[in-house]
Structure 1
Amino acid sequence: MTRPAIWRSIAETLTGEITAGHYRPGDKLPTEAALSARFGVNRHTVRHALTVLAEAGSVHARRGAGVFVTATPTDYALSRRVRFHQNVLASGRTPSRQMLRQETRPADSGEAAALQLPTGALVHVVDGLSLADGTPLAMFRSVFPAARFPNLLEAMTRHSSVTAALAEAGLTDYTRAETRITAIAADALLALHLRLTQGAPLLRSVAVNVDASGQPIEFGTTWFAGDRVTLTVSPEGADAGETVDKLS
């Protein structure tokens, strides 16, 4: 009986481990040196196996960073009332939030203008990561008028959800008034948080959410990992002139 090529056996082994969840979408595989040591082969054989996985769409290489399990983009539908948890659950994945910063400070001129506040008025600032199945989809920064929502940060700590925290503060509905989109490259800090290489493509959205009377209640910036989210505009969102929505 002809023995299968060793590179094929390595590829099948790694495929089985990816399928079993040993390596999740977005995870980095061990280095070629580590895989060579594990399987007792040279790097050329390992490289051949990884090429087979890449051709199958199971992994992709990032120059200077390594080989990563391919993350299937999460469908993210856009509308005037789209919410992060709702969209990720609809895609069949588990949503979560990781809070990085919560503080109250004076608004800068851009924040004050967006929220229609006097320059220097106090605002709550929340930085965090939005994840699906543990993989970061985006990093966000949300800024809220502190006078209107004095206990918002405590609510954010309990809920890790903008929507739930605002509901506890008495605001049960809000809509998107404006969104501006810019394509940028990830700097070192964004790359670190989003588990990307520096220079990876991002979509940055800068948006304003308003209450039923049109009063701004949130000024948000979101940095989307370009290869992890498929953004789709619903008819409602298109009529509202929206192009993309913030993960909130």
Structure 2
Amino acid sequence: MARTPIWRSIATTLAAEIAERHYAPGDKLPTESALATRFGVNRHTVRHALAALAEQGVVHARRGAGVFVTQVPTDYPIGKRVRFHQNLSSAGRVPTKRILAMQTRAATRTEGNLLALDEGAEVHVVEELSLADDLPVAIFTSVFPAARLPDLPDHLGAVGSVTEALRRSGVADYTRASTRLKAKLASATQALHLQIREGAPVLFSSSVNVDPDGIPVEFGSTWFAGDRITLTLEGE
């Protein structure tokens, strides 16, 4: 009678413990070394078991951080008023943001057209990494008209919220005028930030936000980790 491979037995044991919520979604599993000691095997055998669980979608590895139980994807409504903090807080997650880069430069032709700018006009470009419960879920790139919002980078650096930074810049309210959604594959840099593998599926969203007078104030592009976010469309 054929014997069950040890790595498969370890994978089955861990999967059962996860199903019984010994480890909850988002929890970090013990290290390879700790699991090797527990099961009396070498780390290569443990690594094989963890790879099998990752293939099944039960766990995922975060580069430099360890192996974590896969979370249930968070619903992220796409409607006229999309607010990152509000969306994730409503889903019971703790939202945080990290600014990756900020610059002021000449608008590209596409940016100029979408923001209704004159040729050669400048824009503020902000790249941010968004996290839910400290797990990266999305990369945002926001483009703002610099002439209208000259102090927006300072406000954004101070408060960390686009909504509040726009309010301090004189835009009391804004709504989403258009949205385009597309499935893509993560680039090497996107995968690094989102802690997923290169080529993993990401959901790409591009949108234009306008003020109450219908004047564009932001052109945004977002790459969502495909296994962590479920985009939902709100009725208007």
Q: TM-score, normalised by structure 2?
A: 0.81
Preserved CA contact (<8 Å) 2:25 2:72 = no
Gaps of 5+ in 1: 237-248
Preserved CA contact (<8 Å) 1:141 1:220 = yes
The equivalences for 1:33-72 within 5 A come to 35-37=35-37, 39-42=39-42, 46=46, 50=50, 58-59=58-59, 68-72=68-72
Preserved CA contact (<8 Å) 1:7 1:48 = no
1: distance between equivalents of 2:191 and 2:38?
29
Preserved CA contact (<8 Å) 2:11 2:50 = no
* SS in structure 1 of the partner of residue 89 of structure 2: helix
Preserved CA contact (<8 Å) 1:77 1:234 = yes
The equivalences for 1:95-110 within 5 A come to 95-110=95-110
Q: In the alignment, residue 159 of structure 1 is paired with which amino acid?
A: V
The equivalences for 1:144-163 within 5 A come to 144-163=144-163
Look up the match of 2:216: 216
1:18 aligned to which of 23, 26, 37: 23
- Which stretches of structure 1, 4 residues or longer, exceed 6 Å deviation after superposition? 51-57
Preserved CA contact (<8 Å) 1:115 1:217 = yes
Aligned residues: 224
Taking a change above 3 Å as real, the CA distance of residues 55 and 226 of structure 1, as seen in their structure-2 partners, is closer
The equivalences for 1:1-248 within 5 A come to 7=10, 11=14, 15=18, 18-19=23-24, 23=28, 30-31=31-32, 35-37=35-37, 39-42=39-42, 46=46, 50=50, 58-59=58-59, 68-236=68-236
Taking a change above 3 Å as real, the CA distance of residues 225 and 29 of structure 1, as seen in their structure-2 partners, is farther
2: distance between equivalents of 1:179 and 1:9?
43
Q: TM-score, normalised by structure 1?
A: 0.77
Deviations 1:69-107 (A, max 9, x none): 202211112220121111100011110101001111111
Deviations 1:119-155 (A, max 9, x none): 2211101001111101111101000001111100001
2: distance between equivalents of 1:142 and 1:154?
15
1:67 is displaced (CA, Å) by 5.4
Taking a change above 3 Å as real, the CA distance of residues 146 and 60 of structure 1, as seen in their structure-2 partners, is closer
Q: In the alignment, residue 18 of structure 1 is paired with which amino acid?
A: Y
Gaps of 5+ in 2: 1-5
1: distance between equivalents of 2:113 and 2:226?
29
Look up the match of 2:3: none
Q: In the alignment, residue 216 of structure 2 is paired with which amino acid?
A: P
1:58 is displaced (CA, Å) by 4.4
2: distance between equivalents of 1:181 and 1:120?
28
1: distance between equivalents of 2:22 and 2:132?
20
1:41 is displaced (CA, Å) by 1.8
Identity %: 53
